[in-house]
């Protein structure tokens, strides 16, 4: 990350016209910086990396090599959307790596949250590095660094994402949105024609569903979590809460309780709903979800998701509870 200061005179990008002007300027600067060389980008599908990808595709087209590593811990439909938007619509030079088995095999039996994070972060670097080495003519690495990342580089969130590229992988950095705040990145993303689902995506941790499938991850419980989460998102979309709530998701603990389904004993995991509002993720309050919405979600999850037999609601603010469960 290049530590730079945002000039005090820099106007906040709030309109399409301001975004267009920013894009034109960046396109020019990136072309000057990169020339006819190639640029590598880890494209997670999150807001920041997606906006950087779209901006660089506009600037240098196929000289940008996007690598999307599916670690098997993505939410339902996310990797598919990355392929649809970047490969099919924007005709990007996209390398898609399905590394699900590699990640899940490494995570097998590992219950300690920090150990899980380390494995996910470490394996990500290994997979990304393997793909990068298949190209011998890449000089630049693009990153979706945004201004809050620079402001927060004091280590407060250092525990979150583990790892960095190996020492011998030396790239010059391309960080076209490093002076922008999140709301500005979204305005720029809209102006670049990215779909709303991508531009207004809620934050999603790097280790993905890995920190929501609590304890040692198993494929069946991970799958139940992914399906329950998709239902929660769908119902929040339907009732308008998706636009209002900062972050909402399901966590599934590694424990079962007794239930009954079709007149038979049905042991299953509980799905825990967490829906919080915050401005900086340092503290968070609880969003009130109308009871009819909660009933509908409960009904759908317990009927549609194999392995889940209860739905619980987490009412804990931060502090004392962190936003994620692990
Ligand atoms: P916590 O759980 O610390 O989360 O209250 C605050 C915000 O950070 C996100 N988060 C992560 N993001 N890697 C990330 O990139 C991580 O390991 C990680 N853990 C938490 C969390 O989703 C919330 O938005």
pLDDT tens profile 79-113? 999 999 999 999 999 999 999 999 999 999 999 99
CA 304 / ligand 1 centre spacing (Å) = 28
| Residue 136: pLDDT over 90 | no
Mutate which of 157, 212, 279, 321 for ligand 1 pocket (most atoms within 8 A of beta carbon): 157
For the chain, where are the alpha helices, taking DSSP H only?
Answer: 16-34, 47-60, 78-82, 100-107, 113-132, 147-151, 182-191, 196-199, 219-239, 241-244, 291-304
Look-up of token digits 């509002």: 277
pLDDT for res 157? 45
Q: Are 304 and 231 a contacting pair, CB within 8 Å?
A: yes
At residue 168, the pLDDT reads 75
Instruction: For residue 84, give the DSSP letter.
Output: I
* Spatial distance between the Cα atoms of 172 and 165, rounded to a whole number of angstroms: 13
User: Confidence class of residue 146 from pLDDT cuts 50, 70 and 90?
Assistant: very high
Write the residue with the smallest CA distance to atom 4 of ligand 1: 323
What is the pLDDT, as a whole number, of residue 160?
A: 55
Beta strand 285-286 with 269-277: parallel, antiparallel or unpaired?
A: antiparallel
pLDDT digits (tens, 9 = 90+) for 224-267: 999 999 999 999 999 999 999 999 999 999 999 999 999 999 99
CB atoms closer than 10 angstroms to residue 53: 28
Model confidence over 28-54: pLDDT tens digits?
Answer: 999 999 999 999 999 999 999 999 999
Give the pLDDT of residue 169: 72
| Residue 191 confidence (pLDDT) above 90 | yes
Residue of minimum CA distance from atom 3 in ligand 1:
322
- Whether the CB-CB separation of 308 and 224 falls below 8 Å is answered with yes
Residues with CB under 6 A from ligand 1: 117, 160-161, 203, 205-207, 211, 247, 281, 318, 322-324
- Per-residue pLDDT at 67: 97
């Amino acid at each position: 990350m290049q530590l730079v200061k945002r000039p005090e005179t820099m106007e906040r990008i709030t309109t399409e016209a301001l975004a267009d002007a920013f894009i034109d300027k960046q396109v020019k600067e990136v072309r000057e910086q990169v020339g006819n060389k190639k640029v590598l980008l880890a494209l997670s599908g999150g807001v920041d990396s997606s906006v950087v990808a779209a901006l660089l595709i506009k600037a240098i087209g196929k000289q940008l090599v996007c690598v999307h590593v599916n670690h098997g811990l993505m939410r339902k439909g996310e990797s598919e959307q990355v392929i649809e938007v970047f490969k099919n619509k924007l005709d990007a030079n996209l390398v898609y790596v399905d590394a699900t088995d590699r990640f899940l095999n490494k995570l097998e039996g590992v219950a300690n949250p920090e150990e899980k994070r380390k494995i996910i972060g470490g394996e990500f670097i290994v997979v990304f590095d393997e793909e990068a080495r298949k190209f011998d003519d890449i000089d630049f690495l693009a990153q979706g660094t945004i201004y809050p990342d620079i402001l927060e580089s004091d280590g407060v969130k250092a525990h979150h994402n583990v790892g960095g590229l190996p020492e011998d992988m030396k790239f010059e950095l391309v960080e076209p949105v490093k002076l922008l705040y999140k709301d500005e990145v979204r305005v720029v993303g809209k102006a670049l024609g990215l779909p709303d689902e991508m531009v207004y995506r809620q934050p999603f941790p790097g280790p993905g569903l890995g920190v929501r499938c609590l304890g040692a991850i198993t494929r069946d419980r991970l799958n139940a979590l992914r399906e329950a989460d998709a239902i929660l998102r769908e119902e929040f979309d339907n009732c308008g809460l998706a636009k209002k709530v900062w972050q909402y998701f399901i966590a599934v603990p590694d424990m079962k309780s007794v239930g009954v389904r079709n007149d038979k004993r049905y042991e299953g995991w509980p799905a825990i709903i967490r829906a919080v509002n915050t401005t900086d993720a340092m503290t968070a309050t609880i969003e009130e979800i109308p009871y009819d919405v909660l009933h509908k979600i409960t009904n759908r999850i317990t009927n549609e998701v194999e392995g889940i037999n209860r739905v619980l609601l987490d009412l804990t603010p931060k502090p004392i509870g962190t936003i994620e469960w692990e």
